[in-house]
Chain A
Amino acid sequence: GEDVEQSLFLSVREGDSSVINCTYTDSSSTYLYWYKQEPGAGLQLLTYIFSNMDMKQDQRLTVLLNKKDKHLSLRIADTQTGDSAIYFCAENGTGTASKLTFGTGTRLQVTL
């Protein structure tokens, strides 16, 4: 079945860039997503990329997709304390209606 993997924890200093990585196994994914979860809350869609793209930029966020290696990354420029959260990548695998497979989530800690 589909598998999505992320490292569990990342710590960065305020003002630095954060890079959160994700690998997936299903080559039929058409969209890949990044969601953010703040403590005790639901997930919020941050950004997504279509599988025929290799980069997407949205303000401080840059998504890079290496389809050959099945590797997705999220770069957050000028990381702020408000960026502290858990970040999930997700892929739609077979494309079956809304059957997203989520990674384990990466907890981003921003220190002063």
Chain B
Amino acid sequence: DGGITQSPKYLFRKEGQNVTLSCEQNLNHDAMYWYRQDPGQGLRLIYYSQIVNDFQKGDIAEGYSVSREKKESFPLTVTSAQKNPTAFYLCASSISRGDEKLFFGSGTQLSVL
């Protein structure tokens, strides 16, 4: 079955530590996205990538980094510079640039120890 796989489901970060969230898709989609969801708030865009080896900052990119070395994979690193990382992180993809019908993964809940 085609879809988007995020791992792990739950992740804990110690202060000063970088952690990486995995996102893999087998939908052959060109575009991939990372969103952050906080309780009672809408989704906020962290980074997006419209093609391999290219990515753009979203609205809240500070304290995060990404890479897009393969079409299928778009990992997100939450760095120690992100002072409030506790949130639910959602990865999504769409067929191509400009197509906003997003397919989402099941999310990673990141908490700080």
Contact = CB atoms under 8 A, between A and B. Distances in A.
Contact of B104 (A4, A42, A103): A42
A44 to B, nearest CB: 7
A43 interface: yes
A88 B42 contact: yes
Contacts of B50: 97-98
B104 A33 contact: no
B43 A42 contact: no
A92 to B, nearest CB: 5
A8 interface: yes
B105 A42 contact: yes
A97 B42 contact: no
Interface in B26-85: 31, 33, 40-45, 48, 50, 58
Nearest to B43: A102
Contacts of A4: 42
Interface string A38-61: 001111110010000000000000
Contacts, number: 61
A42 B90 contact: yes
Nearest to A6: B42
A8 B39 CA distance: 11
A61 to B, nearest CB: 16
B1 interface: no
B107 A40 contact: yes
A45 B93 CA distance: 12
A99 B99 CA distance: 10
A43 B42 contact: no
Nearest to A89: B42
B42 A98 contact: no
Given A31-B100, A92-B100, A105-B42, A98 B94 contact: yes
Interface of A: 4, 8, 31, 33, 35, 40-45, 48, 88, 90, 92, 97-105
Q: Which 10 residue pairs spanning A and B have beta carbons closest together?
A: A42-B104, A102-B42, A102-B43, A43-B104, A97-B97, A97-B98, A104-B42, A42-B106, A98-B100, A42-B105
